[in-house]
Amino acid sequence: MQIFIASDHRGFALKGKLCADLLRAPIAGDTPVTVTDLGPKSYDPEDDYNDAARAVAKAVLNNIKIGKPDTFGILICGSAIGISIQANRFKGIRAAVAQDLEVAESSRSHNDANVICLSADRLTAAKDPLESEKAYEDLFAIVEKFLNTPFSKEARHLRRIKRLDKEI
């Protein structure tokens, strides 16, 4: 499994922690997991989420194009909304804002989402370290659910996904 990850300044710290933890987590069973950090490499309070979304969308699409379908993206900004809007401008990208386990699961099983968008603000809203640690554990569980949920391939879902790309 190949995972491409990027963020804007508001998601920078979370991106670093996720990169390290994804390599240690039991994701994809025995399948090797590669995590590629597409930036930013250093904190820049003036950066834009658009650049992160474009980098991940292009990398995911390129891997799929060369026959590596087990490829996913993770994008992080303050709300997760702007970054998801930018990513979804790319034909073939299905970026989902997932703030709970159910949405993470259905975005994969029903929509074959290939990019998960996360809100860094959900973590920074925690008032104390224990609350923040719990928020991170919950967020990591959402990422694991997303990455470990297969697409159902039901006819109705396939039909709808085809329409997404036709109507761009």
Catalytic residue among 19, 77, 117, 157: 77
Q: What are 90-134's pLDDT values in tens digits?
A: 999 999 999 999 999 999 999 999 999 999 988 777 667 677 888
Least confident of 3-17, 29-43, 127-141: 127-141
Question: In sequence order, which ranges of the chain are alpha helices (DSSP H)?
Answer: 12-24, 49-65, 81-87, 101-109, 121-124, 129-148, 155-166
Percent of the chain beyond pLDDT 90? 81
pTM for the model: 0.95
Catalytic residue among 9, 19, 110, 157: 110
**Host domain of residue 109:** 2-166
Q: How many CA atoms lie within 13 A of 43 on its CB side?
A: 7
Q: What are 43-77's pLDDT values in tens digits?
A: 999 999 999 999 999 999 999 999 999 999 999 99
Count how many domains the chain has.
1
CA 113 to chain centre: 9
Between the CA atoms of 162, 166, 167 and 168, what dihedral angle is there, to the nearest 10 degrees? 110
- Residue 77 designated active-site: yes
- Residue 157 designated active-site: no
CATH code for position 108:
3.40.1400.10
